[in-house]
Structure 1
Amino acid sequence: MPADSEDPSDDTQYHLDVGPDDVADAVLLPGNPERVERITQFWEDAEQRGEHREYRTVTGTYDDVPISVTSTGIGSPSAAIAVEELARIGADTLVRVGSSGGIQPGMNVGDLVITSGAVRQEGTSDEYVREDYPAVADREVVSALVAAAERLGYEYHVGLTMSADSFYAGQGRPGFNGFEAAGSEGRLEALRSANVKNVEMEASAILTLANLYGLRAGAVCSVYANRITGEFRQEGDERAAEVASLAVSLLAAMDEKKRTAGVDHWHPGLAIEQSN
């Protein structure tokens, strides 16, 4: 095999500019670097560990549990780089925290969508594995996100997400001067009929790579755009941030229950109090 042009075995990662001592086991993944502060405002403490290109990494604690956040930029190619390099330095739980467009009736701007699986309309994951390989969220992460949303009292939906490579043509929006890409006219309706909940640009690549590498991953996105009514408002970032942070704390508690019970997988029976 040819030699690597950038040696991925180096402790300090080429794109993220962080090493093994800079991140916790669980890392939240917003796209926009400006969302990092919206996430860390809920933590007890936070310290920046790296900033390079679109990638900004901060590590701290939430509910006394170590936690990190790394921004990924826009789209699956840059998100996949973050997953690759975080995995190399020891991260094992990844939660995308983003924004999306809701495409089902009854979804309001500001609601949260917890991804159970994703339609791989992006091309990045195709470079890793065959196109019929499923992009599935880890069930423990989904359970923790649902429990967090319930505990905090936020409106949420659980289901399938579509990840596209384009904000415009790939999500059924007109391009410059009203340009319409081939097949875009009925794209949202087809997804709606298939019970897909929302559209965004990173989740399916993150979930695919996490499954390939044996990591836990999930996603929680706020609804910025109601693609049925046309309403658009930047709302719900803080809710998604708080839910994801609490979910990491709940996952730590679930992991402790697994260790105590001597089992490898969390299940609802571990949380049931036995009366006799």
Structure 2
Amino acid sequence: MIKLEKLAPSELILNDDGSIYHLALKPGQIADTIITVGDPDRVTDVAKHFDKIEVEAHKREFKTITGTYKGKRLTVISTGIGTDNIDIVFNELDALANIDFENRTIKMEHMPLTFIRIGTSGAIQPEISVDSFLISEAAVGFDSLLHFYANTHFLDLPFSEALKKHTNWCPQKSDPYMVTGDKALIAHFNTKDFVTGVTATNVGFYGPQGRILRLGLQDDGLNDKLQSFKFQQQKITNLEMETSGIYGMAKLLGHSAISLNAILANRADGTFSDSPKKTVNLLIEKTLEQLLKL
């Protein structure tokens, strides 16, 4: 049952112009299909393919462009890095679609949104080549975001419990959780151009992903343990920093989401792409063309 009580100014925070606090967007300024990217500069890389630009907004790391691509209305937005930013972006995008800003009440009719992440990632399995594209069928969250929300019945507890046992998981770290992407979107994008896998979402780029520069690690063998882990024919294939939050928040809010990864590094053999921008731009083009078929 939807509560009709007004949301307090401290909870639904609006700017002086009536836009949502962090994103600086107003209702009606987003499409129901939304591409998320990490880097604000990548918003322009996506939007340069649009036929028409309708809305542009930029506040902090959150840059948004809404327009049309071959007649299909799309929004592309930068989230910055990390699931903490995903919490902000997904809650505020959902508010734009499902909250009446004038009356500060939740709308009676829910508007579902479709999210497509175009991101970069590093593989941990040797057979996944640099410059390839990977669909995250599911994500393991090493962040703690979903543990702050109720109704997370969709989490795969047997998977995460097996992972903790396999890795001898340090109890001082956040409790891992496992969440799946939208099956229909995964089936739609699962063409010959993509491989599929389970993505590990980390809370940092260096230590949490096993990189050693000047600091030692609590478990310098963690990446090897992740690489060797298998549960019911599923194995962890790649590392990044947003997908578990995207999948979890989408499920909690009643939306659908898929994460598409440009593999720029292979941690198993120590290689990195010679042409990362070219690889990401190719993924953008493939994603846009596949979106037209939805």
* TM-score, length basis structure 1: 0.81
Between the aligned partners of 1:19 and 1:246, the Cα distance in structure 2 is 28
Q: Does the Cα contact within 8 Å between 2:126 and 2:269 map onto a contact in 1?
A: no
Q: Does the Cα contact within 8 Å between 1:103 and 1:198 map onto a contact in 2?
A: yes
Q: Does the Cα contact within 8 Å between 1:135 and 1:205 map onto a contact in 2?
A: no
Is 1:187 the equivalent of 2:231?
Answer: no
Between the aligned partners of 1:146 and 1:239, the Cα distance in structure 2 is 16
Distance 1:168 1:238, change over 3 A: same
Q: Does the Cα contact within 8 Å between 1:141 and 1:247 map onto a contact in 2?
A: no
Give the corresponding residue for 2:181.
Answer: 137
SS at match of 2:92: helix
TM-fit CA distance, 1:201: 0.1
Give the corresponding residue for 1:240.
Answer: 283
Q: Does the Cα contact within 8 Å between 2:55 and 2:66 map onto a contact in 1?
A: yes
Between the aligned partners of 1:85 and 1:222, the Cα distance in structure 2 is 26
Between the aligned partners of 1:16 and 1:5, the Cα distance in structure 2 is 16
Letter in 2 for 1:197: T
Between the aligned partners of 1:146 and 1:36, the Cα distance in structure 2 is 24
Give the corresponding residue for 2:35.
Answer: 28
Letter in 2 for 1:28: I
Q: How does 1:31-180 map to 2 (within 5 A)?
A: 31-90=38-97, 92-129=113-150, 132=157, 134-147=178-191, 150=192, 154=193, 156-175=194-213, 177=214, 179-180=215-216
Q: 2:258 aligns with which of 204, 208, 218?
A: 218
Letter in 2 for 1:139: K
Letter in 1 for 2:208: G
Between the aligned partners of 1:139 and 1:8, the Cα distance in structure 2 is 34
Out of 32-41 and 215-224, give the one that drifted further: 32-41
- Identical-pair percentage: 30
Q: Provide the alpha-carbon RMSD of the alignment.
A: 2.2
Between the aligned partners of 2:13 and 2:292, the Cα distance in structure 1 is 30
Give the corresponding residue for 2:247.
Answer: 207
Kindly tell me the number of residue pairs found equivalent between the two proteins. Answer: 242
Q: Does the Cα contact within 8 Å between 1:145 and 1:243 map onto a contact in 2?
A: no
* TM-score, length basis structure 2: 0.76
Q: Does the Cα contact within 8 Å between 1:173 and 1:180 map onto a contact in 2?
A: no
Letter in 2 for 1:41: K
Q: Which runs of 5+ in 1 are unaligned?
A: 252-276
SS at match of 1:217: strand
TM-fit CA distance, 1:13: 1.0
TM-fit CA distance, 1:216: 0.5
TM-fit CA distance, 1:40: 1.9
Distance 1:180 1:48, change over 3 A: farther
SS at match of 2:211: coil
Q: Does the Cα contact within 8 Å between 1:23 and 1:59 map onto a contact in 2?
A: yes
Letter in 2 for 1:7: L
Between the aligned partners of 1:48 and 1:237, the Cα distance in structure 2 is 24
TM-fit CA distance, 1:20: 1.8
SS at match of 1:210: helix
Is 1:7 the equivalent of 2:12?
Answer: yes
